């Protein structure tokens, strides 16, 4: 079982409850990488016997730091409509809420479609260096920066918050909705890029809109995903961060938005 699959491996515990455990390989500065927590919550809904369809939109709120060890995920099916389903999810440890989420799942159907936003120009990943990081979870991915790599300690401020990168699992693992959820949180905090330095920062809320169907995600395989992220406003201890993700072939996969707390 891959280190990703271990982290989202949940055991049913009755009544929409699931049991999981943190995996040391996903450690971030404090607790696990936020993307892997989001992926586990999405997986919990997928494991629910009444789950119908695929993820359409998910919002994950990071309430309190997750400790190493076991956690419970409580999924509540709010309502099933003709074409979609609404969920509320809570992740608990020792009786305390650590994460909350709401999700819309549904069955998609063919309509008029248009990719109004095109993928940014990017050199082929094979010609780019694999990025390194002291963060434990980072080595579960093969990340290749096209533009806007993590600033070095002596980095300089940038007028642009944009980073563009290629990412795939390391070792390669086929993409699915849970894996795509985690990739929605792959970009380091934009304030690092603007200020050219590391600062205390943490996502308080993450929203992902899934554009791709299950078939399109399967077609993306274990190949690199292209992503580009930027911020719009930094103000009074918070900034926003938006990322767009495409398959290597150019299929729009997802858009993610987050609001991030920072000091400095």
Nearer of residues 202 and 221 to a second copy, judged by Cβ: 202
Nearer of residues 7 and 42 to a second copy, judged by Cβ: 42
Minimum CB distance to a second copy, residue 49 (Å):
20
Minimum CB distance to a second copy, residue 65 (Å):
10
Nearer of residues 56 and 220 to a second copy, judged by Cβ: 56
* Length, in residues, of the chain: 264
**Residue 239: Cβ within 10 Å count:** 21
Minimum CB distance to a second copy, residue 25 (Å):
27
Residue 219 C-beta-side C-alpha neighbours within 13 Å = 13
For a second copy, the binding residues (CB under 8 A) are: 56-57, 59, 61, 63-64, 78-79, 81, 83-84, 86, 88, 90, 96-97, 100-102, 104, 108-117, 160-161, 191, 194-195, 204-205, 207, 209, 211-213, 230-238, 240, 242, 244, 252, 255, 257, 259, 261-264
Minimum CB distance to a second copy, residue 32 (Å):
18
Cα separation of 40 and 37, whole Å?
Answer: 5
Nearer of residues 21 and 84 to a second copy, judged by Cβ: 84
Q: Judging by DSSP bridges, how do beta strands 163-169 and 141-147 pair with one another?
A: antiparallel
Nearer of residues 104 and 226 to a second copy, judged by Cβ: 104
* CA end-to-end span of the chain: 41
Nearer of residues 138 and 238 to a second copy, judged by Cβ: 238
Nearer of residues 54 and 176 to a second copy, judged by Cβ: 54
Minimum CB distance to a second copy, residue 232 (Å):
4
Minimum CB distance to a second copy, residue 7 (Å):
23
Minimum CB distance to a second copy, residue 1 (Å):
31
| Contact present, 259 and 238 (Cβ < 8 Å) | yes
Residue 24 φ/ψ, nearest 5 degrees: -55, -30
> What are the contacts of 197-202 at 24+ separation with CB within 8 A?
197/151, 197/153, 197/155, 198/151, 198/153, 199/262, 199/263, 199/264, 200/262, 200/263, 200/264, 201/260, 201/261, 201/262, 201/263, 202/30, 202/34, 202/62, 202/260, 202/261, 202/262
């Amino acid at each position: 079982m891959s280190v990703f699959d271990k982290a989202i491996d949940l055991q049913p515990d009755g009544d929409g409850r699931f049991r999981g455990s943190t995996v040391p390989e996903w450690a971030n500065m404090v607790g696990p990488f936020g993307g892997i927590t989001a992926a586990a919550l999405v997986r919990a809904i997928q494991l629910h016997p009444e789950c119908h369809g695929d993820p359409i939109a998910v919002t994950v709120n990071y309430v309190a730091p997750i400790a190493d060890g076991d956690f419970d995920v409580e999924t509540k099916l709010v309502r099933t409509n003709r074409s979609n389903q609404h969920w509320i999810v809570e992740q608990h440890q020792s009786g305390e809420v650590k994460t909350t989420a709401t999700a819309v799942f549904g069955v998609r159907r063919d309509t008029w479609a248009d990719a109004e936003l095109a993928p940014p120009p990017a050199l082929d990943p094979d010609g780019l260096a694999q990025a390194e990081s002291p963060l434990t979870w980072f080595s579960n991915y093969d990340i290749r920066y096209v533009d806007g790599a993590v600033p070095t300690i002596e980095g300089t401020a940038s007028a642009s918050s944009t980073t563009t990168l290629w990412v795939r699992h390391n070792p390669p693992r086929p993409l699915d909705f849970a894996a795509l959820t985690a990739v929605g949180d792959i970009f380091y905090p934009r304030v690092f890029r603007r200020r050219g330095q590391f600062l205390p920062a943490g996502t308080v809320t993450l929203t992902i809109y899934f554009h791709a169907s299950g078939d399109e995600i399967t077609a993306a395989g274990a190949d690199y995903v292209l992503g580009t992220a930027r911020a719009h406003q930094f103000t009074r201890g918070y900034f926003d961060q938006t990322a767009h993700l495409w398959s290597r072939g150019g299929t729009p996969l997802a858009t993610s938005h987050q609001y991030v707390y920072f000091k400095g």
